Amino acid sequence: MPKTMHLPDAKKTAPSPKHEPAGFRVFIDFDNTISIGDVLDGVIEKFSIDDSWRALENAWADGRIGARECLDGQVRGLRADWPDLARHLEGVKLDPGFATLRDLLRREGVELTIVSDNFDVLLGHILRHNGLADVACYANHLELADDSLLPSFPFNNPDCPTCAHCKKTHFLPPNDDARQVIFIGDGRSDICPARHADIVFAKDSLLTYLQNAVIPCIAYHDLTEVAHALKKHLHESKI
């Protein structure tokens, strides 16, 4: 991987007031992007009542079912009360570069949003535990009833059957505006939004997919690299 990442030429605009939002919005995946490793996979492996989740995972990987059907079946097969779940989630490690990225974008007036195929209750606890509760987050919904977990999918898109949470809906019509969209992700659930973003940072299977499809993207290893690249890009956009 090259040590230096080059973004597309920044748009040249007239100088703006110090606190005026820049002409970008940043959307970022959570599992294996902000977190080190896949949080939801870890929850499923730890709290599943049997191995039926593996058959669903294989069916999804083979394209026989969509992500929504896969996740719905897997989560309904979990048994855990909240104290056990919370203790597990508090052991999740985050990429140290995410706090750096959050702070940079806040200083520059750039909107940052997490978009995830994970679940709101789980991510909310992780973010609060790590002092990041101020970051906007859209995810699938989860309710707990005793030791059962009940999933729902408020951002499912009937026109996009492969996604459980269609992440691109947060920046395409009617939610689009004049700002450029920067997307940061790593996996299969990020392909859909990556195909519609203006600038994409990609690693792992997302990077492989985009390179094979000859879709422009920027390879990255960790979020510290992304923060450094965006700091340079945001500075150039003010020149």
Contacting residues for 84 by C-beta, under 8 A, at least 6 apart: 47
Q: From CA 101, how far away is CA 103, in angstroms rounded?
A: 5
Handedness of CA 108, 111, 115, 119 (dihedral sign): positive
Hey, which residues does 202 pair with through a beta bridge?
185, 219
Predicted local confidence at residue 1, as pLDDT: 33
Answer yes or no: pTM beyond 0.85.
Answer: yes
* pLDDT score of 89: 98
> What per-residue confidence (pLDDT) applies to 4?
35
* Cα radius of gyration rounded to whole Å, the chain: 18
Return the pLDDT at 38.
96
DSSP state of 27: E
Instruction: Spell out the domains of the chain, with CATH numbers in brackets.
Output: 24-37+94-236 (3.40.50.1000)
What pLDDT does 13 receive?
34
The model's pLDDT over 138-184, given as tens digits with 9 standing for 90+, comes to 999 999 999 999 999 999 998 888 899 999 999 999 999 999 999 99
- Residue numbers of the chain with a pLDDT score lower than 50: 1-6, 9-21, 239
Question: How much is the pLDDT for 22?
Answer: 56
CA 79, 82, 83, 84 torsion: positive or negative?
A: positive
SS3 78: strand
What are the structure tokens assigned to 133, written together?
Answer: 């509760």
Could you give the C-alpha distances from 13 to 8, 73, 187, 229, 236, in angstroms and in order? 15, 49, 34, 19, 10
The CA angle 116-120-124, to the nearest 5 degrees, is 105
Residue 154: count of CB within 10 angstroms of its CB: 10
Crossing angle between the packed helical segments 120-129 and 82-89, to the nearest 10 degrees: 50
Q: What are phi and psi of 143, to 5 degrees?
A: -120, 145
